[in-house]
Amino acid sequence: MSSKPLVAIVDDDIAVREALVDFVRSCGYSAESFASAEEYLLSGRHAEVNCILLDIMMPGKSGLELQAELNRTSRDKPIIFISSFDDDRSRSIAEDGGAVGFLGKPIDIDALLQYLEALFD
């Protein structure tokens, strides 16, 4: 079992998932990716996850819907939203739900690193 923080990456875009997994691991953290909110929920990994990088717009359950569901069961995992749709309404809902960050796509890697370092270092 690894002592490195585990970052879950939930995004329907495989290229984004792969790039974020590589980036997170290059920063010294563990990473696991999921193609949908449903896949993440079914994985049974939530208890092990230390942070979630979460897309807003996905087929099926949206990132905001996943956040709401997780908040109903436990609010202990920091969420950093990543989205191509950086609108005030989505940002407000995410922040009201406890999101620790909100990044537009393309992702500002320096900003993401700052969020991760603030959470884990």
Query: pLDDT tens across 97-111, in order?
Result: 999 999 999 999 999
| pLDDT of 12 over the 90 cut | yes
Return the closest-CA partner of residue 90 out of 61, 42, 56: 56
Query: pLDDT tens across 58-116, in order?
Result: 999 999 999 999 999 876 799 999 998 878 899 999 999 999 999 999 999 999 999 99
State the first-to-last Cα distance of the chain, in angstroms, to the nearest integer: 19
Q: In the numeric block, which tokens belong to residue 63?
A: 């990132």
Q: In what order do the strands lie in the sheet with 51-55?
A: 30-34, 6-10, 51-55, 79-83, 101-104
